[in-house]
Amino acid sequence: MSSFFVVKQQSMVILERFGRFSSIRGPGLHLKVPVVDKVAGRMSLKVRQLDVNVETKTKDNVFVKLKVGVQYVVGRDSVYDAFYKLDRPDEQLNSYIFDVVRAEVPKMILDDVFVRKDDIANAIKSELQDAMQAYGYNIVRALVTDIDPDATVKMAMNRINAAEREKLAAEYEGESERIRIVAKAKAEAESKRLQGQGIADQRREIAKGLEESVDILNSVGINSQEASALIVVTQHYDTLQSMGENVNSNLIMLPNAPTAGSDMLSQMTASFIASQQMGEEMKTSSEALKAAKAKEKIELQR
């Protein structure tokens, strides 16, 4: 039975005769000469992975740990080189990974290590492929599976991120508050405008009514001054009547002469004339100020 041996699938067996390489046998049942032939070793053709933890320093002097995973396989035509040229492939791969990582990472700041981890993996694969191909090993893929800075650095990064987000939230809250204030101010301005427009329309209609009343009284032989006095007296008593209709109000009637309506009209007329004169004076002052500012602007431009 020692003359037969079995080779499993995805495996190769190296056969030696008197200590010298004889042949490579693939999967299946094989025959060897007892004592003369010897199975020197078995080589797997499956893809294997080597995980390596590397600690190094970045360009901004931050120590970081990287976990690198390298997938490699022995080619079917390279079994001889893989078995006889390299004794411990894992140690060889480990040395190359350390060398590449500690050459690439110190060129980057910590943020770039996270962003450019694929560049680090590609550099590892390229270096290992060139070095290990001569020994019969093919590099399938290299992966940077974990980047772990120091705990204090991670806490600082989290604080920076939290501060940035709080700043952004404060800006959004401020903008929202500004929009609310502006909208409220616009609504109040619109309300005041409509209120003023309503008061102006009310006064305009009252003025039209008074004008019509004066025209009607003039048509029956009452002059403008007498008509105005009659209207003022009528409005005065209408006001007293409105106040008397309220049960919760107390109305005190003061004695007055029959000429009270005329006196009231004279006082109102005098007030209107004084207001008109004041308005004309303010308008003249405003125009003079505008002219002075325009003249000063022209002189400055010269």
Task: Please state, in angstroms and rounded to a whole number, the distance separating the CA atoms of residues 288 and 50.
Answer: 92
SS3 label, residue 250: coil
Per-residue pLDDT band at 51 (split at 50, 70, 90): very high
Amino acid (one-letter) located at 140: V
Shared domain for 211 and 247, answered yes or no, is: no
pLDDT digits (tens, 9 = 90+) for 188-236: 888 888 888 887 777 777 767 767 776 776 776 666 666 666 666 676 6
pLDDT for residue 67: 92
Q: What is the pLDDT of residue 215?
A: 72
Q: Are residues 196 and 288 in the same domain?
A: no
pLDDT value of residue 247: 66
CA neighbor of 82 nearest in space, from 126, 131, 132: 132
At residue 68, the pLDDT reads: 92
Are 23 and 38 contained in the same domain?
A: yes
Query: What mean pLDDT value characterizes the chain?
Result: 81
Helix (H), strand (E) at residue 293: helix 260-301
Quote the CA–CA distance of 274 and 272 in Å, as a whole number. 6
User: Which pLDDT value is given to residue 178?
Assistant: 87
pLDDT of residue 130: 86
pLDDT in tens, 229-279: 666 667 666 776 776 676 666 666 655 665 665 566 666 667 656 766 776
Overall size of the chain counted in residues? 302
Q: In what order do the strands lie in the sheet with 20-25?
A: 20-25, 11-17, 37-44
Domain end marker among 116, 149, 182: 149
Please indicate, yes or no, whether residues 215 and 252 belong to a single structural domain of this protein.
Answer: no
Point out the domain boundary residue: 108, 130, 149: 149
The CA distance from 49 to 69, in Å, is 7
What pLDDT sits at residue 167?
Answer: 87
Looking at the structure, tell me whether residues 216 and 230 fall in a common domain: no
For residues 227 and 217, membership in a common domain is answered with no
pLDDT reported for residue 82: 87
Q: Are residues 78 and 119 both part of a single domain?
A: yes
Are residues 211 and 127 part of one domain? no
Rounded mean pLDDT, 59-85? 88
Coil/strand/helix, residue 206: helix
The pLDDT assigned to 191 comes to 85
Cα dihedral angle (101, 55, 118, 78), rounded to 10 degrees?
50
Instruction: Answer whether 15's CB lies under 8 Å from 32's CB.
Output: yes
Domain endpoint, select from 149, 182, 210: 149
137, 96 contact by CB (below 8 A)? no
Domain total of the chain: 4
- As a whole number of angstroms, the distance between CA 232 and CA 237 comes to 9
- Domain shared by 86 and 103, yes or no: yes
Residue span of the structural domain in which 13 resides: 4-44
Question: What would the pLDDT profile of 75-92 be if each residue is shown by its tens digit?
Answer: 888 888 888 888 888 888
Quote the CA–CA distance of 283 and 203 in Å, as a whole number: 23
52 with 124, same domain? yes
Count of CB atoms within 10 A of residue 83's CB? 20
Q: Which of 79, 57, 214, 212 lies closest to 135 in space, CA to CA?
A: 79
Burial, 92: exposed, middle or buried (Cβ in 10 Å; 0-12, 13-18, 19+)?
middle
Question: pTM score, two decimals?
Answer: 0.51
Q: Are residues 236 and 296 in the same domain?
A: yes
In tens, the pLDDT along 137-156 reads 898 999 998 888 877 877 88
Q: In the prediction, which pLDDT does 69 show? A: 92
